């Protein structure tokens, strides 16, 4: 069910949610957090879809803040309430606001925050350079950016590293979780030799390469490098050099990774590229500060980067 409330206020939206609950229980209780999404109009539906998927594991109230595209409506809010089948296991409020109201988003969303529940802010398209200094970010326990959608992903990642505050995270980091598990399992095999160098290859604009290489370099205490290619499948290859021969994890098709290392049979493991909703679910599983992510950001300057030129 979708309820349109043109030219309204967030106080009126909050009252309408209360009346929906009283009238028919259309809005369930038991939300564990408030997810505030700062989106452009073009990103609203994909962000809501991902949030709805995530809500099945993390029941929440989703508040989307987007620009009001109609000119000449200073101080106006057009609201949309989605409940039931249009909201997964959440309740979704879309607020299309004029420019002046979006300058004070913390005041705008205050009446819609769930009492005594954590606040998570998510920017589906990039995000601010210093999330903790953003008015909404300052209210939140967790601040989720997505550098892979920025105009210059690597540059944005560097700015996030400079401004990192506990509670910050990025969906590019969530996308390497399964890689980290596979690599840890591969390294923990005979002959237990130290890794002398690491190389991560993949899509030119995908910041998961940098984060994975930084994590490996810091954990294994060895030089780490990134090779950027024109491939379209995010991380495509990870090579860990050891004295007896390299451990190679190869995923050229973005679906199945082949693991080869001396002394063991070749293995193939399904490792599809994680969807937006899967990455969001991963980040919502923990609301405490991610200390490892902070360490990885601070070690980024130790990663050597090269561009693969076309033949």
Which residues in 94-132 are b (16+ Cβ under 10 Å) and which e? bbbbbeebbeebeebbeebbbeeebbbbbbbbbbbebbe
Q: Which residues contact 39 (CB under 8 A, 6 or more apart)?
A: 47, 64, 65, 66, 123, 124, 125
Give the pTM: 0.93
Q: How far apart are CA 233 and CA 226, in angstroms?
A: 15
**Model confidence pLDDT, tens digit, residues 294-304:** 999 999 999 99
Q: Which residues contact 221 (CB under 8 A, 6 or more apart)?
A: none
Instruction: Please state the length of the chain.
Output: 311
Quick check: 191 pLDDT over 70?
Answer: yes
Respond yes or no on whether the N-terminal peptide bond of residue 191 is cis (omega within 30° of 0).
yes
Q: How far apart are CA 304 and CA 26, in angstroms?
A: 54
| Per-residue pLDDT, 30 | 67
**Model confidence pLDDT, tens digit, residues 220-275:** 999 999 999 987 789 999 999 999 999 999 999 989 999 999 888 999 999 999 99
Q: What is the mean pLDDT of residues 290-294?
A: 95
H or E, element range at 91: strand 91-97
Quick check: 311 pLDDT over 50?
Answer: no
| Per-residue pLDDT, 261 | 92
| Per-residue pLDDT, 129 | 93
What angle (nearest 5°) sits at the alpha carbon of residue 255, between those of residues 250 and 261?
Answer: 25
Q: Does 70 or 3 have the greater pLDDT score?
A: 3
* Six token digits for residue 88: 């997964």
Quick check: 170 pLDDT over 80?
Answer: yes
Question: Given pLDDT bands bounded at 50, 70 and 90, which one contains residue 75?
Answer: confident
H or E, element range at 4: strand 2-5
| Per-residue pLDDT, 53 | 92
């Amino acid at each position: 069910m979708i309820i349109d409330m043109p030219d309204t206020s967030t106080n009126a939206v909050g009252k309408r949610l209360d009346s929906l609950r009283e009238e028919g229980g259309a809005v369930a209780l038991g939300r564990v957090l408030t997810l505030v999404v700062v989106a452009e109009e073009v990103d609203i539906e994909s962000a809501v879809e991902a949030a709805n998927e995530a809500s099945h594991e993390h029941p929440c109230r989703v508040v989307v803040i987007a620009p009001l595209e109609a000119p000449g409506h200073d101080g106006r809010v057009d609201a949309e309430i989605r409940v039931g089948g249009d909201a997964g296991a959440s309740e979704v409020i879309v607020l299309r606001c004029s420019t002046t109201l979006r300058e004070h988003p913390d005041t705008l969303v205050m009446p819609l925050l769930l009492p005594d529940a954590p606040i998570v802010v998510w920017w589906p398209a990039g995000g601010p350079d210093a999330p903790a200094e953003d008015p909404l970010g300052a209210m939140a326990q967790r601040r989720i950016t997505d550098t892979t959608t920025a105009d210059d992903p690597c540059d944005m990642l560097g700015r996030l590293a400079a401004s990192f505050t506990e509670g910050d995270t990025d969906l590019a980091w969530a996308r390497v979780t399964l890689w980290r598990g596979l690599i840890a399992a591969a390294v923990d095999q005979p002959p237990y030799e130290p890794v002398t160098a690491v190389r991560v290859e993949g899509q030119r604009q995908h910041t998961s390469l940098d984060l994975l290489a930084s994590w490996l370099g810091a954990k294994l205490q060895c030089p780490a490098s990134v090779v950027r290619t024109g491939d379209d499948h995010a991380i495509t290859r990870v090579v860990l050099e050891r004295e007896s021969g390299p451990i190679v994890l190869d995923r050229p098709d973005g679906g199945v990774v082949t693991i080869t290392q001396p002394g063991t049979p070749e293995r193939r493991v399904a490792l599809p590229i994680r969807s937006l909703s899967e990455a969001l679910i991963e980040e919502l599983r923990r609301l405490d500060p991610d200390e490892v992510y902070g360490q990885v950001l601070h070690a980024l300057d130790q990663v050597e980067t090269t561009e693969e030129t076309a033949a």
